[in-house]
A and B are shown apart, each in its own frame.
Chain A
Amino acid sequence: MPARIDGGVAVRVVVDLTRCQGYGQCVFLAPDVFTMHGQEALMYDTDPDDAQREHVLRAAAACPVQALHVDRMATQHRTVEPELRHPTSDVDGEFKRNGHIVIVGASLAGGRAAGVLRRDGFKGKVTLIGDEKHQPYDRPPLSKQVLTGRVDAEHTMLPHLREIEVEWLAGTPATGLDIGAKQVTLADGRQIGFDKVLIATGARARPWPIEAEAALDGVYVLRTLDEADRMRRRLAAGVNRVLIIGAGFTGSEVASVCRGLDLEVTVVEAGPAPLVGALGRVIGDIAAGMQRDAGVDLRCGVTVTELVGDEQGRLTGARLSDGGTVEADMAVVALGAVRNVEWLEGSGLAAGPWGVATDAGCRAVDINGLVTDDIFVAGDVARFPHPVYHYQFMSLEHWGNAVAQAEIAAHNMLSDQAHRWPHLSLPVFWSNQFGVNIKSVGVTSIADEVVIAQGSVEERRFVAVYGYKGRITAAVTFDQAMWLDFYRDLIERATPFPPDYRMVGRPDEMRPVPAEVPQRMAPAAGATVVVTGHDPAERRVSLVRQQP
């Protein structure tokens, strides 16, 4: 059925911003719910007033890429009938009727997987275990709309993924997994047996390493709904200067929001520019320009050596590695994430700080490198081999990856070996900051070169394309999201780099320069594959070339 809402039920909105191309139709039709910051950076109220119901429905129907979910979430892929049940096996087994699936982790991936299990005909019992007391909520708005105070933190709940029938065990973290006995142990000592289990415990914000300083009043991290809510209340109460430690995506988005609230902001980044870890030096320098133009006191190549407090334990400032100091009454520690794998210690799975290793079909790998049968992993905590990137194992902390992987994992939990799907989605992510929508497809971190293929860096509207050994590996757009799918296809087809075509908006000179991305992944010489197909049921790779 189309998205419809029964009277009296609050409207709940999620925008799949990996799909959004900035057409702005929703802003026209529901201007009180959706707003455009700059040309393409969409912000929205996740839980608008019931009076907005008709407007929201109009907006959802009008979205040219159907990226708007009202009160439900749909599958990501484009198919003839997206809701059509996908065949999982030739015979419906006892497991599908009476089995028990336990999902550990009740966020985007866990919740999404539960929905897909039901969609694909699982009639047995589903137990969803979460360490937070909240039902699954949407994180991206936390560092944007929520901090501005435009949306209450509690109003970011993900729409019920249909009427999913699940047993909720909220507020109780899992503390152990016994593969042999097929049991999950909870913090309160309970043991939950399962036939199959999905590990989707995600990651948490990396805390400030010195505990006493982290405990100062005014020091925050941002990952969960509760953390966002605490930060929002502090910002609303009045702050003189915010110190942001780390200029990755979270740190940069928080800096953008704080400048939007007209607060003084100092950003301290250990690297040479913001976003360098993800996007490299060329884009980093552009991002640095955006921050400085917005009035951020940006200090790069510097680290915070000490957070300083007064006698009442309130933060007053920080000392920096270059001998400088910053006075600040609020600090946001944005130093990345730590994967939630501690509970798997001793389980026998290949789990560690890098995540939990899986095969391409989301099945967990044990410490011997053997693939398990009944243990699946999805979302930020998973580390999987990607055929397009030389079968290297990668973990992706992206919204779209969590959704796509949850769908693959759930499907494969119900499927015999002839019907399993590989997780082949290219990583896609987005960020809205300083009135610019930044999107990326592919993997930038193995790139050796980058070129501006379309648009203008001066206007901060451009497409940057990344290459590795003569192949296109990634593309990043600033307010040019409509072109992204073109580059996604080039990556999937293993197209040569640079993309030397006659194109609209092509700069006069197209000159590749070193990408200067910190190499966290050792690029292996390997295979070149081509991905075909749109629906997960038909996506496959074929090997086109093996490097010597």
Chain B
Amino acid sequence: MEPASIYEQIHQFTNRANPYPLYAELRETPVARLEDGGYVVSTYEEIVALLHDPRVSSDRRKLAHPPPGEPLPPSFIGTDPPEHDRLRRLAMRHFGPPHSPRVVENMRGELHEIVKDLIDGVAGRTQADIVDDIAYPFPVTVICRLLGVPREDEPRFHAWAEQIVENIGPGEGDQDERAKRRTAAVLALATYLGELAQAHRRNPGDDMLSGLATYEGPDGSLSDTELITTAALLLVAGHETTVNLITNGMLTLLRNPGLIERIRDEPDLIIHTVEELLRFEPPVHFLPQRVALDDITIAGVTIPKGSSIVLALASGSRDPAHVHDPERFDPDRPYIQHLGFGGGIHHCFGAPLARLEAQIALRELAKRLVNPRLVTDPPPYRPNSTLRGPRHLLVEYDRVLPYRP
């Protein structure tokens, strides 16, 4: 048998805890051809160029050999302009500028409240699982309130979301089997959200789903299918990624002695800490779904039209040609420019909310847990190499200080 390529090794579960040395090897060939005929791009400048290259599509239906039919049409992250722009504008209208610039800012108090309660919940003990106790329930609660999804339905949609996420991107195991599991989960989630959206349309509240379901304007309105794909995207992305950002964050803080104390004492430090985290331990490691619409020559390699392109974001953010001493976690860097949220027209829709969630959760943990320490390092990881993060993160501490604003 052929030895596994670097790219294949990255996706092997044994390398989940530390794929970064493999990324360094990957970057020796900035644009590399893969076994399946696709290309992986791993250096910062080249990734940035392709994120802003209109010859690069996000629509898998435009591949030379398109994948077998999906159960639903793609959400806006899987479409191109002008369709993409219309769908994203229709969603953004209820979440951010220019029409709703204060939605995220207005949630700040509520976010503090939720984190306070979750940390209060681990106060009677000296050990917590950062994933199960904080980093998972926090963003789930937030996205439920924002979208208008009943929190008590979480066990149902969590199972579907997990199936969808774990089967995104390349992975180990039988690919057909993965696709089947994914399809079943997508359909179940779609049915659930479809019914929920109809209920919100009949009885609108002050939430995003109601807004999406009832709005009509210059861009028209969302069709029933568009409404479901948009809501599913926001629900899944809204809680399957931030969990990793917060967990990776706590892990990184605990691996860097003195940082927790500094974050506690210097209120502004958390801002740059989270940016550096997005560079150093991002929740999304790859954008696996891009397509070359035309021949694209980059870094001396011509990617033929119709090829699949994988953008290795986490590798690009550690490219020594872009950032000095990239393997060091350093929130004091004068400039932190990273690919943690991608870039170009598909730049992460929920980035401002994810940032705020991570800033609040990590600072509160730093302030309130006394003498926190890792129980195991590295922690156990979830299987997925694209949305990468620990399955559990056990932390011991002496006690929990009361909340202080």
Contacts and interface: CB of A to CB of B under 8 A. Distances in A.
**A and B held together in a complex:** yes
Given A27-B97, A27-B101, A64 B324 contact: no
B96 A504 contact: no
Interface residues of B, number: 50
A365 B27 CA distance: 45
Contacts of A199: none
Given A80-B324, A501-B55, A74 B97 contact: no
B71 to A, nearest CB: 24
B157 interface: no
Given A39-B98, A461-B85, A486-B49, 19 more contacts: A1-B332, A2-B332, A25-B352, A29-B352, A31-B97, A31-B105, A36-B97, A36-B101, A54-B267, A57-B271, A64-B337, A66-B337, A81-B324, A482-B52, A486-B52, A489-B49, A502-B55, A503-B293, A504-B80
A501 B322 contact: no
A174 B67 CA distance: 70
A66 B335 contact: yes
A456 interface: yes
22 contacts: A2-B332, A2-B334, A31-B97, A31-B105, A36-B97, A37-B98, A54-B268, A58-B271, A61-B271, A61-B275, A64-B341, A80-B320, A81-B324, A82-B334, A485-B52, A501-B55, A501-B294, A503-B293, A504-B55, A504-B80, A504-B81, A505-B82
B97 A62 contact: no
B355 interface: yes
Interface of A: 1-2, 4, 23-25, 27-29, 31, 35-39, 54, 57-58, 61-62, 64-66, 74, 78, 80-83, 454-456, 461, 482-483, 485-486, 489, 501-506, 534
A159 to B, nearest CB: 15
A280 to B, nearest CB: 22
A486 B48 CA distance: 10
A61 B352 CA distance: 11
A494 to B, nearest CB: 14
Nearest to B334: A83
Given A28-B97, A28-B104, A502-B305, A57 B81 contact: no
B323 A80 contact: yes
Contacts of B267: 54
Contact of A454 (B54, B89, B351): B54
A430 to B, nearest CB: 17
Contacts of B84: 504
Nearest to B95: A28
Interface in B320-377: 320-324, 332-337, 341, 343-345, 347, 351-352, 355-356, 359
Contact of A501 (B54, B96, B275, B321): B54
A195 to B, nearest CB: 31
Most buried by A among B49, B53, B102: B53
A486 B332 CA distance: 31
A505 B80 contact: yes
A461 B332 CA distance: 39
Given A31-B105, A455-B82, A2 B54 contact: no
Given A29-B352, A482-B344, A501-B294, A4 B268 contact: yes
A506 B101 CA distance: 30
B45 interface: yes
A14 to B, nearest CB: 15
Interface string B298-317: 00000001000000000000
A78 B337 contact: yes
A339 to B, nearest CB: 34
B201 to A, nearest CB: 27
A39 B98 CA distance: 6
Nearest to B81: A505
Contacts of A83: 334
A509 B324 CA distance: 46
A94 to B, nearest CB: 31
Given A28-B352, A486-B52, A82 B322 contact: no
Contacts, number: 124
Contact of B293 (A57, A455, A501): A501
A35 B345 contact: no
Nearest to A459: B82
B272 interface: yes
A87 B123 CA distance: 55
A83 to B, nearest CB: 6
Nearest to A83: B334
A64 B105 contact: no
Given A25-B351, A534-B45, A503 B54 contact: yes
B57 interface: yes
A17 B192 CA distance: 44
A1 B305 CA distance: 44
Given A64-B341, A80-B322, A505-B80, A27 B96 contact: yes
Q: Pick from A78, A456, A534 the residue with the most CB of B within 10 Å.
A: A78
Given A62-B275, A482-B344, A2 B333 contact: yes
Nearest to A435: B98
A28 B105 contact: yes
B52 A36 contact: no
Nearest to B333: A2
A435 to B, nearest CB: 9
Nearest to A453: B54
Contact of B53 (A1, A58, A62, A486): A486
B54 A486 contact: yes
Contacts of A454: 54, 81
A108 to B, nearest CB: 21
A36 B97 CA distance: 6
Nearest to A37: B98
B29 to A, nearest CB: 20
Contacts of A38: 98
Contacts of B271: 57-58, 61
B54 A505 contact: yes
